[in-house]
Structure 1
Amino acid sequence: MELIVTKKVMKNLSAILCSAFICTTSTSVLANTQAKFDEYVANLKQEAAQKGYDNTLIEQAFATAKFKKKVISADKSQPEVKETLEGYLPKRVPQWKIDRARKLYAQNKELLEQVAAEFGVQARFIVALWGLESNFGKIQGGHGVISSVVTLAFDGRRETMYKNQLWAALDILKEGHITLDKFKGSWAGAMGQTQFMPTSFNAYAVDYDNDGRKDIWTTQADAFASIANYLKQAGWNDDLTWGRQVKLPEGFDKNYILKRGTRTRKQWLEYWADSERSLADWQALGLRKMDGTDLPNVDVTAALVMPDDMGGRMYLAYDNYKALMHWNRSYYFATSVGYLSDRIGYPAI
């Protein structure tokens, strides 16, 4: 009995000592990381001063820069895409979101169609991106943008990219588009109803209501115009829709399909050019609408896109699909935008 008690005591003591060691080690590692982060921030402040940013802005902005372990964890643990488009679309574009998109389109119809006419981007695509990026402005993220981009730059995997985001973020603050206390976004630094990264904000955001601020956080007019401006600058053509799902004939040669895989945008566009053909050519190759009828008899070119594999959905994607892929180079994302836009209001082609 005595021996048994001793073993239990030893086991518990060992666990306590082990926990204490782990706790001490974790605290030591965290303290070391914090010290390195503080040094990194100090160097960034010097670099910001060399770039000509005002000292008051530098002190105020970097005072909010905190090391966010959760941001690093989120960046490194992004899930691998293992589902198919068949499973993805119903979750990404459920019926309630379609209903909400239609309702909000109707409520904002005058403004949306004014923006659409001015920028040459159909309103249904503006609403679709608004809905998919931020759930129509409801989910914008609560992370401090400065902390997010500084933490990700400090992590080092994409330091140059996130330092560029930091300088762009300082420009946004310098120009007074938002106050520091409200400068919030996703863990990755995407902001507002449009979920623009800071560099995208500086390139595409629009002060549509002419109040002196490009407010993609709380002003719908600015958010709608910013979405439209992005697509316009990416080459949008409002004479076209985005694409359509098609059926392939038996024994179709998969070499006609747009090549897949990780690549630069330049390479992807080269692959697109290799796949692109007229609708008449695709018709001659045996492609048909999903109901088995002929493709539209119009002078339009398209590339054949395969989001999954030969057993999954196939799409003839028009030039506007390239603009959606410029926004987010993901077949699933671009297709979900088109899918939602179609259910807001069906296209002519």
Structure 2
Amino acid sequence: MSMLSPNRLGFAIAFALLCSCSSTPPATSNSTSQAQAPSPVAAAATKSAATSPADTPARHESFSAWQSDFRRLALSQGISVATLDQALAGLEPDPAVIAADSSQPEFTRPVWEYLDGAVSASRVKRGQQLQVEYAATLSAIEQRYAVDAQVLLAVWGMESAFGHNIGNKNVIRSLASLAYAGRRASFWQEQLLAALRILDAGDISARGMIGSWAGAMGQTQFMPTTYASHAVDFDGDGRRDIWNSASDALGSAAHYLHASGWQAGKPWGFQVALPDNFDYALADTGIRKTYAQWNALGIKGTPQGLAAGDRGYLLLPAGHRGPAFLVFGNFNSILKYNNSTSYALAIGLLSDAIRGQQLALQWPRGDKPLSRHERIELQEQLSRLGFDPGIADGIIGANTRRAVRGSQQQLGWPADGYPTPQLLTELRKR
């Protein structure tokens, strides 16, 4: 599933570092205006993370040595000689891909800048045009997979600018480069084997298999293992062609979201107003309540399509000074496509806008995001003061947010878990 400029992995990592509302970042994709992470890459990475030491590929002194060993492995896995000859002949590692895998951006864009691009007027307009143009296809997909058309259009727009930006990297070369020299060799080797199986099946040629630098492919930016389990031949031509067939791409995205628990007709979430003196510590992904329970705490919104027992959590993507949302089960389905809160929020807001329900959100645009070094220092300061943010790695995850809340409560500040330069300055004094 996802999230953009030349590479999404770097942005996704950087963005997750910034947003206190984000969990672990995904890795790579190719969306238009912003560099995010590839959709189903996050899920694919999670599934392949648990490899035993015996499964971990040995490091090789040369690419040719790696290629020889990999060829033997691929043959043992049933990949045909013809496919290997076609895909690996004359292959050399791509230095740009290896460099992208090791990059750690120092600065990140705040969530509102990301959403400005994600839900731009031009993207909304194009989505509405395509909603009419592909009405019959979208209706058929909705009938089969029970996923709302506007959400599919939002995914299509975010992942590849509605099919116009699917990447320009040779996926086999990129994955081979990463399997040889990347930080997660086992993961990339698994993706490379899956990509070769796609070639073996005849769904696409090696030349036609293009995508992002991290191997996210086609108009939906699927990783190869995600393609294997969720790509569909919706147009019935005998090939699952998410590169050239909009029907296959949209059907595949719907299949993925359906398998991830999407419930048709239910909201992903909605903006809410909070009462004065609200306890911002309740804005925690682990605290889930029905709308009636949230409403009893003074939260006001306009829920549509919720069942009485549907539970959601409060999301403050820019802390207490920004807009607030209640998000529900369908939001979590989007997170399975791309495990970035900001991405899921973009999909939700873009789908609403395509439906004609665009919001005018008030963001604290004067706020400055913390740099990577400042995030690391913040974690070190929190640890020094007895809070437990976990490893000081610059990633603002659940442990760091919890530690930030604790420090904010001690200071008598709104405990929204959102890291700011002001908080870092205050902690330095203590």
Whether TM exceeds 0.5 here: the answer is yes
- Cα RMSD over matched residues? 2.0
Structure 1 distance, partners of 2:117, 2:99, is 24
Structure 2 segments unaligned to the other structure (5+ residues): 1-58, 358-430
| Deviation digits for residues 236-286 of structure 1 (CA, Å, limit 9, x no counterpart) | 00030211121222222233222xxxxxxxxxxxxx4x3211000010111
2:298 is aligned, of 251, 270, 286, to 286
Structure 1 distance, partners of 2:105, 2:272, is 29
The answer (yes or no) to whether the contact 2:156–2:162 under 8 Å persists in 1 is yes
Aligned pairs (5 A) from 1:82-121: 82-121=108-147
The letter of the residue matching 1:188 is A
Structure 2 distance, partners of 1:65, 1:337, is 37
| Residue range with higher mean Cα deviation, 149-158 or 122-131 | 149-158
1:228 and 2:238 matched: no
Provide the residue aligned with 1:218 in structure 2.
244
Provide the residue aligned with 1:161 in structure 2.
187
Structure 2 distance, partners of 1:298, 1:228, is 23
Provide the residue aligned with 1:322 in structure 2.
332
The letter of the residue matching 2:251 is A
Displacement, 1:298?
Answer: 5.1
Displacement, 1:75?
Answer: 2.2
The letter of the residue matching 1:168 is A
1:312 and 2:322 matched: yes
1:209 is aligned, of 217, 222, 235, to 235
TM-score by length of 2: 0.66
Displacement, 1:216?
Answer: 0.3
Displacement, 1:175?
Answer: 0.6
| Deviation digits for residues 146-168 of structure 1 (CA, Å, limit 9, x no counterpart) | 11111111124111111110111
Provide the residue aligned with 2:30 in structure 1.
none
1:57 and 2:83 matched: yes
Provide the residue aligned with 1:249 in structure 2.
275
Structure 2 distance, partners of 1:305, 1:97, is 24
Provide the residue aligned with 1:27 in structure 2.
none
Secondary structure at the residue paired with 2:62?
A: helix
Please identify the structure whose Cα radius of gyration is greater.
1
The letter of the residue matching 1:125 is V
The letter of the residue matching 1:323 is S
Q: Percent identity?
A: 36
Secondary structure at the residue paired with 2:320?
A: coil
| Deviation digits for residues 292-336 of structure 1 (CA, Å, limit 9, x no counterpart) | xx6568523211122232222321111000010001111110000
Displacement, 1:87?
Answer: 2.1
The letter of the residue matching 1:177 is D
Secondary structure at the residue paired with 1:167?
A: helix
Secondary structure at the residue paired with 1:42?
A: helix
Structure 1 segments unaligned to the other structure (5+ residues): 1-32, 259-271
The answer (yes or no) to whether the contact 2:60–2:180 under 8 Å persists in 1 is no
Which has the bigger relative contact order, CA under 8 A and spacing at least 6?
A: 2
1:276 is aligned, of 288, 302, 323, to 288
Judged with a 3 Å threshold, the aligned counterparts in structure 2 of structure 1 residues 156 and 295 are, in CA distance, closer, same or farther, namely closer
The letter of the residue matching 1:106 is V
TM-score by length of 1: 0.81
The letter of the residue matching 1:38 is S
1:184 and 2:194 matched: no
Secondary structure at the residue paired with 1:275?
A: coil
Structure 2 distance, partners of 1:304, 1:150, is 42
Displacement, 1:80?
Answer: 5.4
Judged with a 3 Å threshold, the aligned counterparts in structure 2 of structure 1 residues 295 and 324 are, in CA distance, closer, same or farther, namely closer
The answer (yes or no) to whether the contact 1:142–1:185 under 8 Å persists in 2 is yes
Provide the residue aligned with 2:341 in structure 1.
331
Displacement, 1:346?
Answer: 5.0
Between the two proteins, the alignment pairs up a number of residues equal to: 297
1:36 and 2:55 matched: no
2:353 is aligned, of 338, 343, 347, to 343
Displacement, 1:124?
Answer: 0.4
Provide the residue aligned with 1:6 in structure 2.
none
The answer (yes or no) to whether the contact 2:142–2:148 under 8 Å persists in 1 is yes
The answer (yes or no) to whether the contact 2:159–2:221 under 8 Å persists in 1 is yes
Q: Which has the higher helix share?
A: 1
